[in-house]
């Protein structure tokens, strides 16, 4: 394993981006994490993680069109890169290996 060095929150953000596909932007990512992980997150925390993950090469971003409802501002959409997919897979495999190390206490 190369060592993805994903923190728990970074992993949640990557998972949310993967789940949301083409609709992954700051607010939608935060809402999904709040709904599914039952964690309160701020938009600045989400954005910091997104920019950090983009810098690591796990995400790319693009701007959508400007809308009146956003005061002419554009949404920034995020997408997993191949490196991001690999990082998530490696993180999942590590967790599964670690779970397998726990002795069965039911027996």
Can you give the pLDDT at residue 1? 39
pLDDT digits over 47-91, tens only?
999 999 999 999 999 998 767 666 667 899 999 999 999 999 999
What domains sit in the chain, N to C, each tagged with a CATH number? 8-100 (1.10.10.10)
Is residue 77 within 8 A of residue 63, CB to CB? The reply is yes
Flag whether pLDDT at 35 surpasses 50.
yes
Q: What is the mean pLDDT of residues 86-100?
A: 94
Distance CA 46, CA 44 (A): 5
Distance CA 12, CA 9 (A): 5
Can you give the pLDDT at residue 105? 66
φ, ψ (nearest 5 deg) of residue 64? -85, 180
Looking at every residue in the chain, the average pLDDT score rounds to 90
Q: Which residues contact 55 (CB under 8 A, 6 or more apart)?
A: none
Q: What percent of the chain has pLDDT over 70?
A: 87
Segment (H or E) for 62: strand 59-66
């Amino acid at each position: 394993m190369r060592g993805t060095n994903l923190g728990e929150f970074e992993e949640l953000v990557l998972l949310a981006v993967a789940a949301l596909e083409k609709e992954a932007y700051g607010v939608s990512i935060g809402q999904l994490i709040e709904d599914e992980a039952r964690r309160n997150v701020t938009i600045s925390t989400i954005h910091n993680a997104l920019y950090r993950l983009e810098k690591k090469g796990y995400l790319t971003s693009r701007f959508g069109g400007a809308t009146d409802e956003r005061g002419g501002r554009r949404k920034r959409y995020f997408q997993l890169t191949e490196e991001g997919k690999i990082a998530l897979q490696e993180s999942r495999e590590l967790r599964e290996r670690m779970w397998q190390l726990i002795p069965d206490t039911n027996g």
